[in-house]
Amino acid sequence: VLVASGCVEAYYEMGMHVWDIAAGSLLVLEAGGVVMDVDGGDADLMSRRIMAANNRSVALQLVQQIAPYRPVRDDAPPAASD
């Protein structure tokens, strides 16, 4: 919401769930911003990794500054219990 309203230029998060980022992603896109994966690829809401920015240039600059990790996807099958 802060990116969509123009209060900040970019925001990223790793580990949030799809229900935490879906609506905010839509707001950013409708406001003319960009939403992508934290490695610079296409946004995948199930990956639990998101980057939102007011333009692609700002987002790509931030991508170069962060070290992403890969949390368990929201669409991953449940882990088998022993």
Q: Residue 36 to residues 7, 20, 45, 69: CA-CA distances in angstroms? A: 19, 15, 9, 15
CB atoms closer than 10 angstroms to residue 38: 21
- H-assigned helices in the chain: 2-5, 18-30, 56-63
Over 80: is that where the pLDDT of 5 sits? yes
pLDDT for the residue 39: 93
Map out the domains of the chain with their CATH numbers. Answer: 2-63 (3.40.190.80)
pLDDT band at 82 (very low <50, low <70, confident <90, very high): low
Distance CA 31, CA 79 (A): 38
20 assigned to a ligand binding site: yes
3-state secondary structure of 3: helix
Write down the pTM of the prediction. Answer: 0.85
pLDDT band at 34 (very low <50, low <70, confident <90, very high): very high
